[in-house]
């Protein structure tokens, strides 16, 4: 089955395609201490939020004044930490069941462009995805990242514009699909103008995601037929 118009599929990264097995928290703490000189105490809620927002909240909790270059230094250290600990990340973390197969299956079609929509910085996202071989079928230049906007919903039109610039194909809310595991992903799709396929692969249940407004919720990515049916249901964006 071919869709009348090509689809732009935007994948969330953490707990949708992969998880770090605790390495991400350790990398974060090490980078934070490196740039602030203070050990990381209380962590902020990270699920569904962008890295700059999380970082500023943690600074405030620690009574540390934000400076112009502090986040950029932190982001560099964070990416360096992931790169240096790639072996450990591969050992302790994992690509989620069905993720690699889903990416490959969609890549085999000529009516799908795949990228990411994530609160991560691009360098960290690229290293994490690459560690598990999940970057092969993604056009990361067509995605949107945490440094593009504090508001996750704003990342949707940013990614759509980049994908259009790269492909020459105009995408609209009905041909843009966000796949993610948090209520924030559901809200980003709704407010940013995209269809949503929620996957209950993180800390939120299917009921949580449905309560947030997702009308399509998959247990995971192990059934290609379920993903295809959700993508090509023709359901308009909310």
CATH superfamily to which 7-20+94-231 belongs: HAD superfamily/HAD-like (3.40.50.1000)
Instruction: Kindly state the average pLDDT of the residues 25-40.
Output: 96
pLDDT value at position 34?
Answer: 97
Residue 117's pLDDT band (cuts 50, 70, 90): very high
pLDDT value at position 3?
Answer: 54
Residue 41's pLDDT band (cuts 50, 70, 90): confident
pLDDT value at position 5?
Answer: 85
Do 1 and 189 contact (CB within 8 A), yes or no? no
Do 176 and 105 contact (CB within 8 A), yes or no? no
pLDDT value at position 234?
Answer: 54
User: Which single residue is written with the structure tokens 């247990």?
Assistant: 219
Do 135 and 99 contact (CB within 8 A), yes or no? no
Structure confidence by residue, pLDDT tens digits, 59-99? 999 999 998 899 999 999 999 999 999 999 999 999 999 99
pLDDT value at position 169?
Answer: 96
pLDDT value at position 1?
Answer: 46
Token pair for 167: 């492909």
Do 214 and 194 contact (CB within 8 A), yes or no? no
Residue 236's pLDDT band (cuts 50, 70, 90): very low
More confident position, 126 or 49: 126
Alpha helix stretches (DSSP H) within the chain: 23-36, 51-61, 70-84, 86-92, 99-107, 122-131, 152-167, 183-192, 206-211, 224-231
Would the CA dihedral through 70, 132, 162, 50 be positive or negative?
A: negative
pLDDT value at position 42?
Answer: 79
Structure confidence by residue, pLDDT tens digits, 150-188? 999 999 999 999 999 999 999 999 999 999 999 999 999
Token pair for 45: 């809620």
* pLDDT at 238 exceeding the cut of 70: no
Mean pLDDT of the chain: 94
pLDDT value at position 19?
Answer: 97
């Amino acid at each position: 089955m071919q869709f009348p118009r090509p689809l732009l599929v935007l994948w969330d990264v953490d707990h949708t395609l992969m998880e770090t097995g605790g390495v991400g928290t350790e990398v974060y703490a090490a980078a934070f201490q490196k740039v602030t000189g203070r050990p990381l105490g209380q962590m902020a809620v990270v699920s569904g939020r962008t890295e700059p927002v999380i970082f500023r909240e943690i600074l405030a909790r620690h009574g540390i004044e934000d400076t112009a270059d502090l986040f950029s230094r932190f982001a560099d250290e964070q990416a360096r930490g992931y790169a240096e600990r790639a072996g450990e990340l591969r050992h302790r973390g994992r690509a989620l069941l069905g993720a690699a197969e889903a990416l490959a299956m969609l890549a085999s079609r000529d009516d799908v462009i795949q990228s990411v929509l994530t609160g991560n910085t691009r360098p960290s996202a690229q290293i994490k995805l690459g560690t598990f071989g999940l970057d092969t079928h993604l056009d990361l230049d067509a995605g949107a990242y945490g440094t593009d906007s504090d508001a996750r919903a704003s990342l949707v039109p940013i990614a759509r514009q980049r994908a259009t610039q790269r492909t020459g194909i105009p995408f609209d809310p009905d041909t843009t699909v966000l796949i993610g595991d948090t209520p924030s992903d559901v809200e980003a799709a709704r407010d940013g103008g995209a269809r949503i396929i929620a996957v209950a692969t993180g800390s939120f249940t299917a009921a949580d995601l449905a309560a947030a407004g997702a009308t399509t919720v998959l247990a995971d990515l192990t059934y290609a037929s379920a993903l295809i049916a959700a993508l090509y249901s023709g359901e308009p964006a909310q």
